[in-house]
Structure 1
Amino acid sequence: MTTTTEIAEQAGTDAPGPAAVSGWTATRLVAEREIRTYVRMKGFWIGLVLVLIGIFAAAILPGVIGGGPTSIAVVGQAADALQEQAGFEVRTVADADAARELVRNEEVEAAVVPDAQGNPAGVRIIALSEPPMDVIAALTTAPPVDLLEQGDVSAGQRQLVIMVFALVFLMFGMGGLAIAQSTVTEKQTRIVEILVAAVPVRSLLAGKLLGHTVLALGQVVLFAAAAPIALRLGELDGLLTAITPALGWFVPFLVAGFVLLGSLWAIAGALVSRQEDLGSTTGSVTMLVMLPYFLVMFFSDDPLVMTVLSYVPFSASVAMPVRLFTGEAAAWEALLALAVVAATAAAVLLLASRIYAGSLLQTRGRVGLAQAWAGRN
């Protein structure tokens, strides 16, 4: 692991005093230290492997395990059109409207209703978003299929992708906690005094953000590359076609959102001097990560709420990619939302720089925001 002493030696100083280097060199040294520290931690690699396993499992296992017998709603004598050996879970309903409602509410996977248009099969199949091939195969003559929702993915697949987007956002948003923990550890052990002698305080902040952003970017690019492979192995070509554009947007949104949240995590760490006190400053940042996750999960079917969330800086990084995946947002909307997140991240970074510099060397308990802003000891 790159140590604090090594940073001081590379910067050209080994004693307290004015910072020896500034600008990009100092930022790079700190970023390298953060990256090397975390990539040598077993927990980092264990978490990475577990997420990759989860991606492949979510894509492959449903097709391997299956979901049991297909549930079907039938109207009147339409059930006679099914072969007895098909083994479906049949539910008899009064009329076609009732069957259609069950399909729309996803209480059954398909419905078989009488066909008044005189097709050879004598029945029609109603499905939500994709033809039920097992039901069609069970009929002696292939009937017409009415889809209630045209689309490349089923409702279940759509909800799964939304959940994965939200979970990845949550994971990387909370990952910024490492910046706060690193900062308060350096304050508690007084290592920060040696670091500040070697590099400027603002370069220390920039280096931490850069290092952890590179780590986050590397992980999300790896996940984005693994997802299409997993979907192909799971024979989910339609889902792959639908999700690819959203994945392309998810990467820059996640990076911009990480910089925004990472700046706030850095403030939370700089305001306290002990790990035991960190919870008193991280609660509000945690809420800014958790709230968008729950809002997107609960309101993913509400276009109005999702549109609003797409332009709120703290939730846009997950809400806008979800809207792009569901086809509810145009490219210009994504560009506008990304600009909002990037502008907010830049403003918060400037704010964080001032507070971080004003509180980093204050190691006598918790520092108030006003005190940190003024830079008073």
Structure 2
Amino acid sequence: MSTPTPTPTPAPTPTRRTPNTPARPAAASTSGGPSFAHSAWLVAEREIGSKLRSKAFVISSVIMMLFALAGVVWGGIAAANPSHTPVAVTSQTSAVVQGMQNLDVTTAASDDAAIALVRDGKVDAAIVADAASPTHVKLVGKDKVPSELVAQLSATPTVQLLTPSSQDALLRYLVAIGFGVVFLFAASLFGSTIAQSVVEEKQTRIVEILISAIPVRALLAGKVVGNTILAMGQIIVLVAIAIVGLSVTGQSAVLSGLGGPMVWFAVFFLFGFVLLASLFAGAGAMVSRQEDIGSTTMPITMLILAPYILVIIFNDNPIVLTVMSYVPFSAPVAMPLRLYLGDALWWEPLVSLVLLIATCAAAIAVGSKIYRNAILRMGARVTLAEALKA
């Protein structure tokens, strides 16, 4: 009896795949996607890296730092060398200017010689004798007379200040401009960058790929966090420049008065910028073209521009500054200025900061809802009412 020989099973022939044949997808990972915090940080790193690689951003930042350094140095030079008003007097009127400050006095031989110096432009004014005047002197100018000289020659009553201010008008004005310019520049620069980034991702459809991998809120949070880090980095560098510059130029008195207000400015700017950044992101999601960004971001830009204008015009008006220090959009500028001037009580910045944080939370909620509802809508501009609908 013969035993049958088993037939060998042929090996399976491998399937040849052409270049146009798609590869079989790999099995889905059971580990899950990245966490919300990790996703947001990935987006933030992308925002920071793209900015640091931008020549325009680096150059504009360097220019701003140089302007800040130049302003501090100029302030030190101006404080050390105050301007003097050239004035001509005669032997009869020389006693009038004794004790007056910031005057460059030239003694002329006669009244006519003193007036001739004014006519030739060598001095700004001449003080000559005048028997008909109650003060027995007359102030002669070419087309105008220096107001500070008139103020010193005017008879004024004795003034007593119970709480005298240690800051002069010029320094107050420069500090107001400094806080206003830094807030305006940083908030508008990085805010518009967020809006442009949102529209660019929407135009190129990259946002559809991004939100398929990470949550929409993580994408928004990453943009806000990344640009906030960049903005705060600039603020810290500017504060360091101001501290070093004031120390080197011998303005220790100014530095001692500005130290606390600059720290408060950084804290207020942090929450104020997050507030504005959330609104800028929502405004960018409402349009689909770069040309239409201005129509949705203009109201936010006006909120940034208004504090800069108001704090310069009303820097010597305590009522207006007090109101501005409690309005969330102007508090980052007005409250540090009031602290520098000594007009704010210890509890006022704390109350103002609480109001700012509460408004910041509300702005994040509104901006997030607008962004979430409008980011995938292409074509015509999305109205605010449509974007706020669930």
Q: Does the alignment reach a TM-score above 0.5?
A: yes
Q: 1:94 to 1:185 in 2, by over 3 A?
A: farther
Maintained 8 Å contact 1:76/1:94? no
1:261 maps to amino acid? L
| Aligned equivalents of 1:148, 1:89: Cα separation in 2 | 36
In the other structure, the counterpart of 1:78 is: 95
Aligned partners of 2:150 and 2:215: how far apart in 1? 62
1:89-147 alpha-carbon deviations (Å, 9 max, x no partner): 6665966xxx9xxxxx9734984799xxxxxxxxxxx9x9xxxxxxxxxxxxxxxxx99
SS in 2 for 1:107: helix
Distance 1:282 1:230 in 2: 36
- Unaligned residue ranges in structure 2 (runs of 5+): 1-25, 107-122, 128-132, 140-145
Q: Could you say if the C-alpha distance between residues 63 and 246 of structure 1 is closer, same or farther in structure 2, counting changes exceeding 3 Å?
A: closer
Matched, 1:356 2:371: yes
2:182 is matched with 168
State how many pairs are aligned. 324
Percent identity, aligned pairs only, is 42
State the match for 1:30 in structure 2.
Answer: 43
* Structure 1, 55-64 or 182-191: larger mean CA deviation: 55-64
Partner residue of 2:54 out of 41, 44, 49: 41
The CA deviation at 1:237 is: 1.9
Cα separation, partners in 2 of 1:55 and 1:230, compared to 1, 3 Å: same
Identify if the C-alpha distance between structure 1 residues 338 and 210 changes in structure 2 by more than 3 Å, giving closer, same or farther: same
Q: How far off is 1:67 after superposition?
A: 5.8
Tell which structure's C-alpha radius of gyration is larger.
Answer: 2
Q: 1:325 aligns with which of 340, 357, 369?
A: 340
Q: How far has the Cα of 1:68 moved from its partner?
A: 4.4
- The change in CA–CA distance for 1:82 and 1:366 in structure 2 (over 3 A counts) is closer
1:157 is aligned, of 166, 171, 178, to 171
Quote the RMSD (CA, aligned, Å). Answer: 3.5
Partner of 2:385: 370
Q: Secondary structure at the residue paired with 2:330?
A: helix
Distance in 2, matches of 1:94 and 1:173, equals 56
Q: 1:152 to 1:240 in 2, by over 3 A?
A: farther
Aligned residue runs from structure 1 range 1-377, under 5 A? 20-64=33-77, 66=81, 68-70=83-85, 78-79=95-96, 81=98, 92=127, 107-108=148-149, 111=152, 150-175=164-189, 176-375=191-390
Tell me the CA shift for residue 30 of structure 1: 0.4
Distance 1:325 1:82, change over 3 A: closer
SS at structure 2 position matched to 1:196: helix
| 1:161 Cα deviation from its structure 2 partner | 1.0
Distance across 1 between alignment mates of 2:312 and 2:353: 21
Q: Which moved more, 1:199-208 or 1:44-53?
A: 44-53
Shift, 1:86, TM fit: 5.2
Shift of residue 364, structure 1, vs aligned partner: 2.2
CA-CA distance at 1:26 after TM superposition: 0.7
Q: Verify the 8 A CA contact 1:183 1:266 in the aligned structure 2.
A: yes
Deviation of 1:371 (Å) = 2.3
* Pair 239,80 (structure 1): closer, same or farther in 2 beyond 3 Å: closer
The 2-side partners of 1:266 and 1:94 are apart by 67
Question: How many angstroms does 1:229 deviate by?
Answer: 1.1
Instruction: Note the alpha carbon deviations across 1:193-237, whole angstroms, 9 max, x for none.
Output: 111111110110000000001111111011111101111233222
Change (3 A) 1:156 1:48: same
Secondary structure in structure 1 of the residue aligned to 2:148 = coil
Equivalent position amino acid for 2:57 in 1: F
Q: Does the Cα contact within 8 Å between 2:224 and 2:278 map onto a contact in 1?
A: yes
| Inter-partner Cα distance in structure 2 for 1:303 and 1:72 | 36
In terms of mean alpha carbon deviation, does 195-204 or 78-87 score higher? 78-87
CA, structure 1 residues 201+71, in 2 after alignment: closer, same or farther (shift >3 Å)?
A: farther
Alignment CA distance shift 1:148-1:63 (3 Å): farther
Q: For the residues of structure 2 that align with 1:108 and 1:261, how far apart are their CA atoms?
A: 46
Report the Cα offset of residue 357 of structure 1. Answer: 0.7
Q: Which amino acid aligns with 2:215?
A: P
Q: Distance in 2 between matches of 1:280 and 1:48?
A: 27
Of the structure 1 ranges 365-374 and 338-347, higher mean CA displacement relative to structure 2 is found in: 365-374
Residue 225 of structure 1 aligns to a residue whose secondary structure is helix
Q: Distance in 1 between matches of 2:275 and 2:352?
A: 14
After TM superposition, give the deviation of residue 78 of structure 1 in Å: 2.8
In structure 2, what residue type is equivalent to 1:173? A
In structure 2, relative to structure 1, the CA distance for the partners of 1:27 and 1:300 (3 Å cut) is: same
The answer on whether the counterparts of 2:87 and 2:104 sit within 8 Å (CA) in structure 1 is no
Report if the CA contact (8 A) 1:71-1:108 is conserved. Answer: no
Q: Which residue of 1 aligns with 2:117?
A: none
Give 1:22 deviation, angstroms: 3.8
- Would the aligned equivalents of 1:63 and 1:234 in 2 still touch at CA under 8 Å? yes
1:352 deviation in Å? Answer: 1.2
- Deviation string for 1:168-217 (max 9, x for gaps)? 11112202111100000000111111111111101100000000011111
Aligned to 1:235, what secondary structure does the other structure show? coil
Alpha-carbon deviation of 1:355? 1.4
Q: 1:212 to 1:72 in 2, by over 3 A?
A: farther
Contact 2:86/2:105, CA 8 A, preserved across alignment = no
